[in-house]
Structure 1
Amino acid sequence: MAKRVYQGWKAKNKFVFGGRLIFGPDARSLFISVSLIIVPVTIFCIFVARHLLHRFPAYNAGYAVLLVAIAFTIHVLLLLLVTSARDPGIVPRASHPPEEEFSYDTLEVGGRHTPSLQFPRIKEVMVNGFPVKVKYCETCMVFRPPRCSHCSICDNCVERFDHHCPWVGQCIGQRNYRYFFLFVSSSTLLCIYVFAMSASYIKFLMDEDYPTVWKAMKKSPASVILMIYCFISLWFVGGLTGFHLYLIGTNQTTYENFRYRAEDRPNVYDRGCLNNFLEVFCSKIKPSRHNFRAHVREEVARPARISHARAVEDEPAGGPRAKVEDDLEFGGDLSKISQRRNYEEVDDVMGGRNSNGMQIVLPESELGVNSNTQVPAIGGEVRNSSWGRRSGKWDISPEVLATGSSATTDGGGSSQKDAH
């Protein structure tokens, strides 16, 4: 049975419910985050909200205190789940480097012209009329889109990468940044709500049988603990909310703000404060570029890479050996080139044949041939180079063959005369 995409996933993500939910490798931290939300709210509902049920007699508003706390907590937990369990904008990996980016340059080494493989690691694209450099990802074998970065924790390239949040166990990117901000801001409001209601209960106690703050706090220590907890939490989630409000207003990501802060480069993505907010909260979220439950398609088998040792002609009887060397070693990059390209096309690119389709002819100086030397027949044999891309024919020119044959005839005739 064919595997599904999530079963053969190459990154470090964890999948739940048959690939329906995707988490980061540190998804266990979610249990800590959930506990930090549920435990204080449970204490609030039992020791504080329960005593406020009858403190607001008009329309039985005291019951709303408890219901709002429960509903707000469920809202925050759902936002946490949506942020953590969805594709943040993972860029699909490629099975081989982009062929169209490879180029060849001829270098002269030791008097020989050697083709050299060229592959750009950085290229420029235009964004809002400004040039932006994009980098090649060695792991995903793609040029990253603008504002994309490779997360070392999840081992994925993520579009509009903001940061990897350990509290939600997931990367924050293009497809879940909106929910991440709503989660953080809603957590801030929940802290403010619990703090305010706990302080209100202390005030009610002071108005009744506990006239001093100290006596009221001794009566309800849970309210004091919740107030301290919410005050500390506000420094984190409240400060994070303010920071991301600034980032949204200026159309930056956390990664860009920390990385390019000192470079004082212009922000080519800034469209004005209002448009920046509309882009984050009102634009349509792009669909995922992955179907994790789809069956993996088997790749079509490519032609095997041809690799031979240097071609050497056998030495004929009574004559020297002619050797034609064509070993070109390009290193590891060349082995990654897609083998779908036709051999003859690469041969044309590499210079195996000239523009007129003429076969390359070796001069006499390179073969060590003179008028008195016998030349071995090389024509008619196809030679494959050791780097498996070139299939050029190396033929001796008719002039050289004629010279070699005349030399052989003259040598044979003179020997017959001497014999006579």
Structure 2
Amino acid sequence: MEGRMQAKAQFSDSNRRIMEVDAPPRRVYQTWKGSNIFLLGGRLIFGPDVRSLVLTVCLIVIPVIFFAAAVCPQLGHEYHSQVGGWVASVAIVFSAYILAILLLTSGRDPGIVPRNAHPPEPEDIGESSNLSDWPGGQHGSTSLPLTRDVLVNGVLVKVKYCHTCMLYRPPRCSHCSICNNCVERFDHHCPWVGQCIGKRNYRFFFMFVSSTTMLCVYVFAFCWVNLKKIMDVHECKLGRAFLKSPISGLLILYTFFAVWFVGGLTSFHLYLISINQTTYENFRYHYDRKTNPYNRGLGQNFIEILFSRVPSSKNNFRAKVKEDSATFTSSLSMGHVISPAKMSVDLEMGMKRQAVAREELEDLHSQIGSAMGLERCGTEPPHFVARKGCSEIASDIEAFAGEFGMENGFGERKKIERHTNDGS
């Protein structure tokens, strides 16, 4: 009985493998090696800290709701006109625009460089590799150099090799440790939007922080207008006006502190755009003693960053993964790559296993024959009968034969035995 259960377990494992092969092909986002979170079938890509996006949305929407529901009606009542409705409408539409820009910033590919399936060959690296940074490179090691020299606008720039993505990063590219991706023109990873800021979404990030700054100024200004009108109508001082419209006072304090944050970011990134530099470059390199190879002048820098065409993504997250690619990806996730030599060895070992299986099948078949003969003669040992019946052994061998694709041979032998038994 135990052998029968083992044979069934092996047969079920084989069925499971067949089902995995026949399963529908997976898509790129389902086998993605980064730490990203995908939504809507791979149409939206976020960073692993996408939950912070909820807090960012609340910090924008909730103050606008209080402004439109409490301050604007009071403003219209004080002025005896529809000005409150217009002020509220502008705030709501502008907030919707900011949320759309926020989604474009956090929900799209920031410029991820696709990973290599295998490291580049040493002979493909070229003469521009920096051998001094090559561990053991001067002693004939087959390791890859850590850096390469690339010419950018007449200036020699070093690019590093990424061991995770198995590629030499393009200039201005860096590996984000949070998203676990190499990102082109990497600026920084922003926790407020839950995404890396790179070549494809930097423009939208700047539009987001600058628009949020303008919204803060807008709410701040009209809250002051409301308090000033209350002071004029009721002929009171500022303290009493705060008591008559406490929401206006709270929003003034809130927007005052918020504008220092988003306004400071806007000013800092205006400076970076003017010199065509990223936050990462500004904090790490500073270009103190070297010429910035990317600075093309004030006008050209603004045109390149804010008004040029956004490059297409290098990744199609909804594309179907080929079977061989999926096999290769699974081998990479196990920490090794199956070489052609290794595949030939595995094939040879598989053929040997089949030969051994056939021999085991012959032995079991002979045991069945002897068991049947003993049973007919009444001389079968008692312990053999107690352990397993002939029908159970036959079913075990049938399952075993089905596992190795030998059902036809087993069926023919079974017919011969039946014919012999009938003749006897």
Q: Name the TM tier (shorter chain).
A: 0.5 to 0.7
Question: In structure 2, how many angstroms separate the alpha carbons of the residues matched to 1:220 and 1:301?
Answer: 63
Tell me how large the CA RMSD over aligned residues is: 2.4
Unmatched 5+ stretches in structure 1: 104-113, 304-334, 341-420
Question: In structure 2, how many angstroms separate the alpha carbons of the residues matched to 1:71 and 1:301?
Answer: 46
Question: In structure 2, how many angstroms separate the alpha carbons of the residues matched to 1:282 and 1:292?
Answer: 26
Matches within 5 A, 1:57-96: 60-96=82-118
Query: Corresponding residue for 1:139?
Result: 164
Question: In structure 1, how many angstroms separate the alpha carbons of the residues matched to 2:322 and 2:338?
Answer: 21
SS in structure 1 opposite 2:160? strand
The one of 70, 76, 80 aligned to 1:47: 70
Could you give the per-residue CA deviations for residues 256-278 of structure 1, whole angstroms, max 9, x where no partner exists? 00001274322110000110000
Question: In structure 2, how many angstroms separate the alpha carbons of the residues matched to 1:53 and 1:21?
Answer: 41
Question: In structure 1, how many angstroms separate the alpha carbons of the residues matched to 2:207 and 2:143?
Answer: 46
Query: Corresponding residue for 2:184?
Result: 159
Displacement of 1:125 in angstroms is 1.0
- Larger RCO (CA under 8 A, 6+ residues apart): 2
Query: Corresponding residue for 2:15?
Result: none
Q: Which amino acid aligns with 1:75?
A: Y
Give the alignment's TM-score, normalised by structure 1: 0.67
Could you give the per-residue CA deviations for residues 32-79 of structure 1, whole angstroms, max 9, x where no partner exists? 101101111111111101122355567x44321011010111011111
Is 1:233 the equivalent of 2:275? no
Q: Which amino acid aligns with 2:44?
A: L
The one of 269, 280, 289 aligned to 1:255: 280
- Structure whose residues are more often helix by fraction: 2
Displacement of 1:302 in angstroms is 11
Runs of 4+ in 1 over 3 A off after TM superposition: 54-58, 100-103, 300-303, 335-340
Could you give the per-residue CA deviations for residues 264-297 of structure 1, whole angstroms, max 9, x where no partner exists? 3221100001100000111111100111111002
Unmatched 5+ stretches in structure 2: 1-23, 127-138, 329-335, 342-424
Displacement of 1:101 in angstroms is 3.4
Query: Corresponding residue for 1:184?
Result: 209
SS in structure 2 opposite 1:117? coil
CA contact (8 A) 2:224 2:252 kept: yes
SS in structure 2 opposite 1:123? strand
Question: In structure 2, how many angstroms separate the alpha carbons of the residues matched to 1:337 and 1:263?
Answer: 46
Question: In structure 1, how many angstroms separate the alpha carbons of the residues matched to 2:338 and 2:151?
Answer: 27
CA contact (8 A) 2:75 2:83 kept: no
Q: Which amino acid aligns with 1:74?
A: A
Query: Corresponding residue for 1:119?
Result: 144
CA contact (8 A) 1:97 1:337 kept: no
SS in structure 2 opposite 1:270? coil
Give the alignment's TM-score, normalised by structure 2: 0.67
